[in-house]
Chains A and B, each alone.
Chain A
Amino acid sequence: MEEQKIQVKKALDERLMLGALIDLARKKLVPVHKHTIWYYMGALLLILFMIQMVTGPILLFYYKPTAETAYQSVAEIMVKLPYGWLIRSVHHWASNLMILIAFVHFFSTFLVKAYRRPREFTWLTGMVMFLLVLFLGYTGYTLPFDERAFFALNVGTDMPGAIPVVGQYVLEFLRGGAQVGAHTLNRFFALHVGVLPLALLAVLAIHIILVQMHGMSVPVSIEKKAREEKKKIPAKPMFPHFVWHDAINGLVLVGLLFTLAICMPSELGSVIDYLKPAPVGVKPDWFFLWVYQILKWIPTYVLGIEGEVVGITGLALAAVVIFCAPFVDWKSQRNERSPLFTAFAVVSLLVFLVCTAIGFFF
């Protein structure tokens, strides 16, 4: 048995240079400290992405992407197809979990300033992926073309229209015209199934390569403490220790995912009635509740400018600051404590949590 194992290893190594890859992998160390738990988020996201890349295409076998057939095809998946309800619910819940863990991953890296030198590009690719994942969640939500989807299509494409200068172009690009119609569904389908997943894959590849190149970032406070105590930060090898950790986390995640999918399967709203008023209490999907709530609070006119414009522009500016954090937070770049940005991160987190909660309960 041993001999055959060695022979197989030699054969693979000769053809695939696996030996060199394994050598490289064995060198990877993961720092062990009180914030190590946040390192697990990336692997969880990757597992969820892989689940989506399986459940998505197989749903695609049966989903019919036109305004006339979309709703019935989703109903058929729920009712007629064996385990259709399960596959769809898994796809839906995996997207919710992926967005949730993406928020956790974003806030944790933001708070510990993992974006500082030399990880600026890791941060940028991560932020791009964050937006792609949110956009994927939004576009997927509209595909069943039920009442809620129609509302999401109308309001969701209306909001970018409030951006000054480019707003109208963005709106027309998203809608495929000035109005929402069958062509909008077509466009959202193309985005959700083709454009966004491919873009996500490409950016993810860069992100993962960068993470492997630079290794895991250690928070400033822990680095400082180690320097002061003249001690090395303990680190464990990725192979096998953290692979085992990731495996256990992944298993628990899958269990949680299927529990949610079975106990709370995805819903299907009513058929679109173009002449009905918007249903009372209609709200966007949970990950946009914070935006919804903030926009609700802004008065109709602020200093003569439309409230919508102020709100969207304000949020866009905040996003730009966050995107550029590595280049603006010069204290972190010097590996010093940066209380201003820590405060900004904490405030953003609180705003997100509080606005989401208020948006949900009221």
Chain B
Amino acid sequence: MKIKESLLSRRDFFTGLIYGSLGSVAAYLAYPVVRFLYYEKKLPLPKAVTITLADIEKLAPNSAVYFQYGYLPGILVRTEAGEVKAFSAKCTHLDCNVNYKPDTKTFHCACHDGYFDITGKNIAGPPPKPLLAFSVKQEGDVMVISHPEEGGAEAKKA
């Protein structure tokens, strides 16, 4: 029975207490389950990758090739002037691999028609940010390509 002034009957209050205590046991046990499911597995990225100059010389000017940087796909471009640029091949829109179009000297993402120019800047279509640029340095007879966070800080500039 419930008196007019009170919100709940005594029975309902007590039943609520019981459900609350059972709920707290469930929540207490749910915590390890939830933590277990949210496992942030960090895949490792190498400090840098090296590509032999010989291999790069084999590339025609104004052409591009893919290379593997840990788990990231990279795209390496040899410009007409002979300069070497390297970017992450992952489109900044939704992660499709981009392609290089020599005729327009742009990177094109086929998934949603996104375009990036030769410096990696997003120029058309949905991509919101430029392609991530790797730093490229020649050391002896290899080109050292490194990720801006893992490798050199100079790579932050495109």
A residues whose Cβ falls under 8 Å from a Cβ of B: 1-2, 5, 54-55, 58, 61-62, 80-84, 86-87, 247, 251, 254, 258
Contact of A58 with B33 at beta-carbon distance under 8 Å, contacts A2-B2, A82-B39 already known:
yes
The minimal Cβ–Cβ distance linking A2 to chain B, given in whole angstroms, is: 6
| Distance between Cα atoms of A82 and B36 in the complex (Å) | 5
Give the residue of A54, A55, A81, A86 whose beta carbon is less than 8 angstroms from that of B39. A81
Sorted from nearest, which 6 A-B pairs have the closest CB atoms? A83-B32, A82-B35, A83-B36, A1-B7, A87-B36, A81-B39
Known: A1-B7, A1-B8, A2-B2. A254 touches B36 (CB 8 A): no
Residues of A contacting B: mostly = helix
Contacts of A81 in B (CB 8 A): 36, 39
CA of A61 to CA of B37, assembled, Å: 8
In the complex, what's the smallest C-beta–C-beta distance from B18 to chain A, in angstroms? Answer: 8
Q: State whether A83 touches B35 (Cβ < 8 A).
A: yes
Contact for B33 among A87, A251, A258, CB less than 8 A: A87
Other-chain residue from B7, B9, B22, B33 in contact with A247 (beta carbon distance below 8 A):
B22
Q: Which residues in A have their C-beta under 8 angstroms from that of B29? A: 254, 258
**Which residues from 1 to 53 on chain B have a C-beta closer than 8 Å to any C-beta of chain A?**
2, 7-9, 12, 22, 25, 29, 32-33, 35-37, 39
Give the residues in chain A near B33, CB-CB below 8 Å: 54-55, 58, 83, 87
Q: Chain A nearest CB: distance from B79 CB in Å?
A: 43
List the A side residues contacting B12 at CB < 8 Å.
Answer: 1, 5
Which of B32, B35, B39 is close to A62, meaning CB atoms less than 8 Å apart? B39
- Tally of contact residues, B, Cβ under 8 A: 14
Q: Which residue of A lies closest to B31 (CB)?
A: A83
Closest partner residue, chain A, to B38 (CB atom): A82
Which of B2, B8, B22, B39 counts the most chain A CB atoms within 10 A? B39
Q: CB < 8 Å: which of B2, B7, B22, B32 contacts A82? A: B32
Closest to A81 in B: B39
Which residues from B are CB-within-8-Å of A58? Answer: 33, 36-37
Alpha-carbon distance A84/B33, docked complex (angstroms): 9
Give chain B's interface residues, CB within 8 Å of chain A. Answer: 2, 7-9, 12, 22, 25, 29, 32-33, 35-37, 39
B32: chain A residues within 8 A (beta carbon): 82-83, 86-87
15 extra A-B contacts, CB within 8 A, seeds A1-B8, A54-B33, A83-B35: A1-B7, A58-B33, A58-B37, A81-B36, A81-B39, A83-B32, A83-B33, A83-B36, A84-B36, A86-B32, A86-B36, A87-B33, A247-B22, A251-B22, A254-B25
A209 to B36, CA, bound (A): 35
Can you name the residue of chain A whose Cβ is closest to the Cβ of B25? A251
- B-chain residues with CB within 8 Å of residue A61 when the two chains form the complex: 37
With a CB–CB cut-off of 8 A, which chain B residues contact A84?
36
Q: Which residues of B contact A54 (CB under 8 A)?
A: 33
Q: What are 22 A-B pairs at a CB distance below 8 A? A: A1-B7, A1-B12, A2-B2, A2-B9, A5-B12, A54-B33, A55-B33, A58-B37, A80-B39, A81-B39, A82-B32, A82-B35, A82-B36, A82-B39, A83-B32, A83-B35, A84-B36, A86-B32, A87-B32, A251-B25, A254-B25, A254-B29
How near does chain B come to A263, taking the closest CB pair, in angstroms? 16
Residues of A within 8 A of B22 (CB): 247, 251
**Can you name the residue of chain A whose Cβ is closest to the Cβ of B6?**
A1
In Å, the complex CA distance between A251 and B25 comes to 9
B144 to chain A, nearest CB (A): 32
Contact partners of A62 in chain B: CB under 8 A = 39
* Closest-CB distance, B26 to chain A (whole angstroms): 10
A1 cross-chain contacts in B, Cβ below 8 A: 7-8, 12
Please name all residues of chain A whose beta carbon is closer than 8 Å to the beta carbon of B39 when the two chains form the complex: 62, 80-82
Tell me which residues across on chain B come within 8 A of A2, comparing CB atoms. 2, 9
Interface centre among A83, A86, A254 (most CB of B within 10 A): A83
Using CB atoms, name the residue of chain B closest to A87: B36
Q: How far is B28's CA from A258's CA once the two chains are assembled, in angstroms?
A: 12
Residues of chain A lying within 8 A (CB to CB) of residue B25:
251, 254
Contacts of B37 in A (CB 8 A): 58, 61
B9 CB, nearest partner CB in chain A, Å? 8
C-alpha gap A81/B34 in the complex (Å): 12
Closest chain B residue to A84, Cβ basis: B36
Residue of A nearest to B21 (CB): A251
Q: How far is the CA of A268 from the CA of B48 in the complex (A)?
A: 37
Closest to A240 in B: B15
Q: Give Cα A1 to B35, complex, Å.
A: 36
